[in-house]
Amino acid sequence: MPPDAASSFKKCSTTNNERGQKIVDNYGSDIVQLDTMINRTMRAFTMASVNGSSASRPAYSQQDVSDAKALAETLKSMTPEQQKAWAQQVAQDRMKNAGSAGASPQDNAETSKTVFQTQDIAVNQMKTLNDEMLQKMNEINNASDKEISALIKDDKTKCPSNITGMPTCECVNQIEGKYWKQVLLIKDKYNTRKTALFQAYFPRLKAMAETVDNTVTKYGRGDALKSSQLKNMLFSSQSSAFGNAFLMLTKCMEDVRKDGSDAFVNKLNSDNKVFDISCATK
């Protein structure tokens, strides 16, 4: 996270329009690369869910894919308590069917428990942590907006007139520059709080993501599991963990970078007497 608005703006790619105003094209190549990586990886997860989660395993059938998606949606709609009750029922059913002819191969209770716990971390616990952090971030944004809305600009009608009878560009942009200088101070203050909030939550989220990845590695990305249902759960857990891990990171980084850069470029255009161009002749 950049320490202030000026540092945020330095990361940006900018151009000048025909009126001489500086325009932000994007908020930094690192953010562009991050978004590209996330989109590429999520596409890879989608392709893997169709073709099988590892090269060593044959491709899933269309029915397997449909069943995996249905299971993911069912679990997503359940509360953690409902998921535990469902898992217990599944375990009981497996025990009843264990000795029946033609029963599908099953994993032991400890393995099943680990996979279900991993699913809970990836789907429920990481989402809960994200929601909690994003709520606090919204509170910071609301406090910032409230403070900015209380700012009062000087009266532009008191500016001297130019030859067209309009207020001079130098005067009106000085007024805008004074306003955006105050906005920058407020943005920097609250963006520092956002960064501190992120730094407080990120280690917890990272630990959860590492727990999921360690389980995926432990079971050979699902190849060490016997149950196709558990394989699907493990793979969907890794996909959910990836999405939840980067949700917080990208939200904070883009919010701080955009907030700071937008305020800074407005101050810069004011200093260059092109923020308010109502005074300029066409």
Long-range CB pairs of 86-90, under 8 A, 24+ apart, other chains included: 87/112, 87/116, 90/229
**Angle between helix 109-119 and 228-271 (nearest 10):** 20
Question: What's the pLDDT band for 53 if we cut at 50, 70, 90?
Answer: very low
What's the CA dihedral at 218, 86, 49, 58 to 10 degrees? 70
Q: Would the pLDDT of 193 be above 80?
A: yes
Dihedral angle, C-alpha 69, 71, 74, 80, nearest 10 °: -130
Query: Rounded to whole angstroms, how far apart are CA atoms 86 and 68?
Result: 16
- Mean predicted confidence (pLDDT) in 126-147: 94
Q: What is the model's pLDDT at position 104?
A: 55
Any idea which of 102-111, 204-213, 215-224 has the lowest mean pLDDT? Answer: 102-111
49: left (phi over 0), alpha (psi -120 to 50) or beta: alpha
Give tens-digit pLDDT for 79-95. 666 665 665 565 555 55
**Are the CB atoms for 260 and 188 separated by under 8 Å?**
yes
> pTM for this one?
0.74
Task: Look at residue 250 and tell me whether its pLDDT is greater than 80.
Answer: yes
Length of the chain in terms of residues written: 282
Average pLDDT taken over every residue of the chain: 83
Contacts 24+ apart (CB under 8 A), 72-76: 72/232, 72/236, 75/119, 75/123, 75/233, 76/123
> Of 161 and 212, which is predicted with more confidence?
212
Structure confidence by residue, pLDDT tens digits, 157-183: 888 987 777 788 899 999 999 999 999
pLDDT attached to residue 58: 40
Tell me: the pLDDT tens digits for 92-136?
555 555 444 444 557 778 888 889 999 999 989 999 999 999 999
pLDDT of amino acid 83: 60
Predicted confidence band at 66 (pLDDT cuts at 50, 70, 90)? low
